[in-house]
Amino acid sequence: MPTERFVAELNAQIARELAAAHQYTAIAVWYEGEAFPRLARFFYDQAEEEREHGMKMVRYLLDTDSKVELGQIDAPRNDFADHVEPIALALEHERKVTVHISRLFEIARETNDYTSEQFLHWFLEEQVEEESTMSDLLKVAERTREIPALLEEHLARDAPGD
């Protein structure tokens, strides 16, 4: 059974995952409004993936007879200066998530909660992938700052994470 400290932190992480889904949806909407359909699709997919992460955490708490407490989610950022800014925001978010997941892992290890530690292995691996994907996308976005349509072409040829 997870400790109260772990459950509290995992509930906080659920809120962060659902907030990320909300933010990624807002990014997708912005890209769609700016006529970047591939970037919009990429971020709609990312939003769904973040929601799935949050629900995976919810399921873990339910399966361990732990209390699930869904917290408030702040409004996402909706406006961006250019096509690069949303990706930079997403990379910053993914780096913060890595820190939070690592903190959860530390709590599980400190409290000899081997089951929760094992549960978090998947999320640690996922964060390596998420940071790499956003970092690579940001590099391409920065190179295409003057001609943003080239980023759409890049996504058409070589979708991040593939």
Domains present along the chain, CATH in parentheses: 4-157 (1.20.1260.10)
Alpha carbon distance 112, 3 (integer Å): 10
Output the pLDDT for position 158: 78
Contacts of 7 (CB under 8 A, 6+ apart): 61, 66, 67
Alpha carbon distance 95, 16 (integer Å): 13
Q: What is the pLDDT of residues 13-65, one digit of tens each?
A: 999 999 999 999 999 999 999 999 999 999 999 999 999 999 999 999 999 99
User: What is the greatest pairwise CA distance in the chain?
Assistant: 53
What is the pLDDT averaged over residues 65-92? Answer: 96
Dihedral of alpha carbons 69, 134, 83, 142, sign:
positive
Output the pLDDT for position 100: 97
Packing angle of the helix pair 37-63, 149-157 (nearest 10 deg): 60
Q: pLDDT band at 89, cuts 50/70/90?
A: very high
